[in-house]
Amino acid sequence: MPAVTIDLRQAEDPRDIVHRTVQALAESKLVALPTETIYLAAASALSPDAVTRLIAAVPEVPLEKRALAVKSADDALDYLPDLSPMGRRLMRRCWPGPLLVRAATQHPESVLTQLPAETRRSVAPQGEVGLRVPHHDVILSVLRLSIGPLVVVPVPVRPSSGSAAGGAGGCPVAVEASEVVESIGSRIDVVLDGGRTKYAQPATMIALERDRWSVLEAGVIGELALQRLASMMIL
């Protein structure tokens, strides 16, 4: 069956849509959500079946583009409890916002160890996890009301559609709900239509290793801005 599309711009009460979306995710359904960067297909990280179907829906998306969406920088520290002060500065200053952070997490107290095995295999098979806190009122509300994080992946579309580049293995990615429907509308359950995304390009993806960071994929936040955001500021 084709996905149900809900137009956020026509909603009388966005809170009702948020609650319906949280319920859909809790029922192991797949939902496409708008962010400030691109559209992401999402599944509850606590539902192995939903995560399996999510990965199958977008098989061309490489492992490094899969991530966990969490509700805050503080939440992210539950997954990376030994994160360096520099990494904490970047998260605190960039989130919510267009930054995807990848880092190794071997700490025994990492919440990652409590997620289902299928979820860990799908997003962090070698103990390295990607984390995001998207800056969009609806997805943030969904995250705050959900039990556990969401597994999120970019939605690839046909190159001829004129979408943003670089989101899924170099392929264009969806920045409008219509592109999500055209691409994977028969493989997911719900599409939230928030119109064209604010930046219409992917989030910047970086790798964190102790006191060093490197750009894995260019995006909204440039390297000079990252250098300033990562530095210690003394007032």
Query: What confidence tens digit (pLDDT) does each residue in 51-93 have?
Result: 999 999 999 999 999 999 999 999 999 999 999 999 999 999 9
CA distance 219 to 119: 26
Determine the pLDDT at residue 166: 53
Output the CA angle 128-189-22, nearest 5 degrees.
70
Average pLDDT of span 19-39: 98
- The strand order across the sheet containing 39-44 reads 4-7, 190-193, 31-34, 39-44, 150-154, 67-69, 128-132, 99-104, 204-209, 212-217
Which residues are CB-neighbours of 41 under 8 A, at least 6 positions away?
30, 31, 32, 33, 54, 57, 58, 152, 153, 154, 155, 180, 184, 188
* CA-angle at 145, arms to 140 and 147, nearest 5°: 115
Q: Please give the pLDDT value at position 161.
A: 45
- The sign of the CA dihedral 138, 196, 158, 65 is negative
Contact of 170 with 105, CB cutoff 8 Å: no
Residue 37 phi/psi, 5-degree rounding, is -105, -70
What's the whole-number mean pLDDT along residues 229-233?
A: 78
